[in-house]
Amino acid sequence: MAHDGVESVNIDFRALLTKVKASGADLVYGGFLVDSGGPQIAQQMDALGMFKAGVKFMSEDAMYSDAVPKAVSPEALNGNLYVTFSSPALDQLPTKTGQNFYKNYKAKYNGDPIGWSIYSYNAMLVILDSIKRAAPQIDAAKDVAAKRQAVLDAMTATKDLEGVAGPITFDKNGDVVTALFSGFLFKDGKYVWQRNISGDMKCQ
């Protein structure tokens, strides 16, 4: 195992990838965003013949986006790109909210939601729910600051709100208690759900 860092403005990673290739590594893991080098790494791994040699690429939720295969090429990534994301397979979302979201999103945008569309939807759900629950306090509040505080208090107290991928509850630090993670593999032109990963990173 080896560690390395890249500059997000760089676009030429061949020197670094040659080192990875020479080391005989099985997997490259990188916390990338779509616009900070992730697709370039995948593209240049392909150009250097690393995918053909059986090296895989793994990244996190920000790469769970169809922008990645579009920028690289679905054929090159086929079976070679793993991503983690905090949701089960999209057609197996456990909640009613999630199923409705997926159905409506598909109908409206004619494609699957990416990782961050689900996060944004969840975030909006939490905000709207907090405002709703804080309504009496908002009406009673004297000034704007108190109104805002009422919403914030309600937000931290969010408990078992039905989100896209399951109930949302915050702990005292504001972290989500019940985060469900899954691993996906890019295959046949889409991200295919592989398995769930629990909080202690054990596969289920």
| Residues of this chain that bind other proteins (CB under 8 A) | 3-7, 9-12, 14-16, 18-19, 21-22, 24, 34-35, 39-40, 43-44, 47-49, 67, 70-71
Which residue matches tokens 């598909």?
A: 106
Nearer to other proteins, 16 or 127 (CB): 16
- For 169, counting Cβ atoms within 10 Å of its Cβ (0-12 exposed, 13-18 middle, 19+ buried), the class is middle
- The residues facing 176 across adjacent strands are 170
* The two structure tokens encoding residue 50: 């690393």
Minimum Å gap between C-beta 201 and other proteins is 26
Residue 18 or 104 with smaller CB distance to other proteins: 18
- Shortest reach from residue 9's CB to other proteins, in Å: 4
CB of 190 to other proteins, least distance (A): 19
114 or 150, CB closer to other proteins?
Answer: 114
In the complex with other proteins, which residue's Cβ is closer, 14 or 103?
Answer: 14
- State the minimum distance, in angstroms, from the CB of residue 136 to other proteins: 43
User: From CA 83, how far away is CA 57, in angstroms rounded?
Assistant: 9
The full DSSP string for 152-186 is HHHHHT--SEE-SSSEE-B-TTS-BSS--EEEEEE
* Secondary structure letter of residue 30 according to DSSP: -
